[in-house]
Structure 1
């Protein structure tokens, strides 16, 4: 007897490897996946614009990055002495407008450069619900806790989203013909929009994601949303807010992603790195200068030196060498 339906995603038509360059953009789920890729030592620019839920703002920001367009001077806003920009997440802020302008320009330049060099773009669509600034009539990426009366909230029309993303994908492909795109719909539930409207929103995004994969052979869909809704399908896999998937759910979905998207070499490396990462966090019970711990560090150093032939582990090597030197010094003082 089975008590849940396990979803085993099909392999993507292209595989991520240990040397792949990756950019993640979109909702907080994109950032979660990006961080797990970073934890496994992949080269990732992780959600540089901050959490961006709606596809309208995602398309606008990526277009600005690729075409070298500066942030709109009329979209800066000040709240409680802190400056923000309506096209970016509130994690990008500054004490004055000039400082923020420099920060946003640097972010756009970096993202544009990385998109042109990247092998993969991991793009997560969060919600088709948007907020439009009444004064300018333009959609914002974030309201920055400005009074809600200044905005109109509504469901963005499906044809407009399709057109925005179609234009974006053509631009991306022209800027970097070798780029492969992994498209997902975020499993985060936007309950503030009401559950019925959240369902309409996610359905809209899912339809568009399907169409884009049919029209573009360099775009593939990974079913993160379906894994959460139909495979895990249990509130124990949510945080206490009943909105965000918890770490156990993220681990499960990322594991499915690895099975679907990673080449054999990368999957093998992940297994090895998991053991090394565990060793890096180990701290001895009886001090750093015991012979057993010094042998442990020596073995760990040798493992890292082998791994360093394939990837950058300079920070980990420096930490282990420091701990080993410190332990040996303490041992000599005791002797």
Structure 2
């Protein structure tokens, strides 16, 4: 008797699609809601894993916008250290959907909030991208002037973008109690100082993330009507959790929440797609080889497998000669990793 499972492809069955399949040969894992092509202007943002995707898209010959390129003559490793070329703007890692929405609101307003300047050893830091000036600046006024320029340049970039690629990284965050503004890292880790009267921990729930993603799409289309949103979830586990839970279930909660919200967002909106980079890296068939010895950093083989699958889904397979070999980033910039220094 025929039934709905009778004519399904082999990829719909665990044994054929996973257990008996090569973990690094998943070119049929995704059918895009829309395809990227050479006519698209693409903007990228998100957690540190998103840096790999930006490079792969550039290597594929696609137009990846960069509104704040490095000064001419600066060495590549120094440019990397100061946050140039990581994304389409010099905003550093944006780990949560709430942080992304708040940043877009600030870009639209064009006015930085003077309340979010941190200090360390007599130097001044932008609290909303504290790792991008490793030695700090001379004054709070200099921080705000640089941020004003940064907001203007990102706004101009977003008004050119046809597709916005955003990699969700975390549900956990620290925010200012007075303003609700979310920081990319806990005060005191890179700069500033933690004060429980001023700062609070938040672990965003599924409904909150879902609402933030809806707001994200709305904000993007305010910059350019019809802009599409391509979502991924970072496969990189939490370095540490402030949730009073073991870091393993805390990580699983975070990733499950983000994965569900991103998938539902893509199902509900034709302008939104979800690519399963998280699933590819955590695939049991890889038997752990897509993670380094610390079980956190994604190996070159894992990154390459994700990027090859992504490019193939969009008709940009490196094997056809149009795309150079997929390159990986040896050391992505990641503020979250700095928490490892506090582990005992």
Structure-1-length-normalised TM-score: 0.72
Q: 1:235 aligns with which of 278, 288, 293?
A: 288
Deviation by residue 1:171-197 (Cα, 9 ceiling, x = unmatched): 222331231211011111114120101
Distance 2:218 2:324 in 1: 38
User: Cα RMSD over matched residues?
Assistant: 2.7
Task: Specify the alignment match of 1:295 in structure 2.
Answer: none
Please tell me whether the aligned partners of residues 130 and 139 of structure 1 are also in contact (alpha carbons under 8 angstroms). Answer: yes
Please state how far the C-alpha of 1:237 moved relative to its aligned partner. 1.9
Please state how far the C-alpha of 1:55 moved relative to its aligned partner. 1.5
Task: Specify the alignment match of 2:30 in structure 1.
Answer: 10
Please state how far the C-alpha of 1:227 moved relative to its aligned partner. 0.7
Is 2:87 the counterpart of 1:60? no
Is 2:232 the counterpart of 1:184? yes
Please state how far the C-alpha of 1:17 moved relative to its aligned partner. 1.5
Please state how far the C-alpha of 1:231 moved relative to its aligned partner. 5.8
Q: 1:34 aligns with which of 29, 39, 54?
A: 54
Q: Which has a greater percent of helix?
A: 1
Please state how far the C-alpha of 1:205 moved relative to its aligned partner. 0.9
Please tell me whether the aligned partners of residues 31 and 47 of structure 1 are also in contact (alpha carbons under 8 angstroms). Answer: no
1:96-135 to 2 correspondences below 5 Å:
96-133=139-176
Task: Specify the alignment match of 2:253 in structure 1.
Answer: 200
Please tell me whether the aligned partners of residues 30 and 124 of structure 1 are also in contact (alpha carbons under 8 angstroms). Answer: yes
Please say which structure displays the higher CA radius of gyration.
Answer: 1
Q: 1:71 aligns with which of 112, 135, 144?
A: 112
Please tell me whether the aligned partners of residues 318 and 324 of structure 2 are also in contact (alpha carbons under 8 angstroms). Answer: no
Q: Name the stretch that deviates more: 232-241 or 164-173.
A: 232-241
Higher relative contact order (CA 8 A, sep 6+): 2
Please tell me whether the aligned partners of residues 217 and 229 of structure 2 are also in contact (alpha carbons under 8 angstroms). Answer: no
Please tell me whether the aligned partners of residues 52 and 89 of structure 1 are also in contact (alpha carbons under 8 angstroms). Answer: no
Closer/same/farther in 2, CA of residues 171 and 3 from structure 1, 3 Å limit: closer
Closer/same/farther in 2, CA of residues 238 and 178 from structure 1, 3 Å limit: same
Gaps of 5+ in 1: 278-335
Please tell me whether the aligned partners of residues 25 and 124 of structure 1 are also in contact (alpha carbons under 8 angstroms). Answer: yes
Please state how far the C-alpha of 1:128 moved relative to its aligned partner. 0.4
Q: Aligned to 1:236, what secondary structure does the other structure show?
A: coil
Please state how far the C-alpha of 1:207 moved relative to its aligned partner. 1.6
Please state how far the C-alpha of 1:82 moved relative to its aligned partner. 3.1
Please tell me whether the aligned partners of residues 57 and 87 of structure 1 are also in contact (alpha carbons under 8 angstroms). Answer: no
Is 2:133 the counterpart of 1:80? no
Please state how far the C-alpha of 1:272 moved relative to its aligned partner. 4.2
Please tell me whether the aligned partners of residues 185 and 202 of structure 1 are also in contact (alpha carbons under 8 angstroms). Answer: yes
Please state how far the C-alpha of 1:107 moved relative to its aligned partner. 2.0
Task: Specify the alignment match of 1:152 in structure 2.
Answer: 200
Distance 2:173 2:166 in 1: 18
Please state how far the C-alpha of 1:269 moved relative to its aligned partner. 9.8
Task: Specify the alignment match of 1:257 in structure 2.
Answer: 310
Q: Aligned to 1:237, what secondary structure does the other structure show?
A: coil
Distance 1:38 1:270 in 2: 16
Please state how far the C-alpha of 1:145 moved relative to its aligned partner. 4.4
Q: Aligned to 1:238, what secondary structure does the other structure show?
A: coil
Please state how far the C-alpha of 1:147 moved relative to its aligned partner. 4.5
Q: How many residues align?
A: 272
Q: Aligned to 1:94, what secondary structure does the other structure show?
A: coil
Distance 1:195 1:180 in 2: 33
Q: Aligned to 1:73, what secondary structure does the other structure show?
A: coil
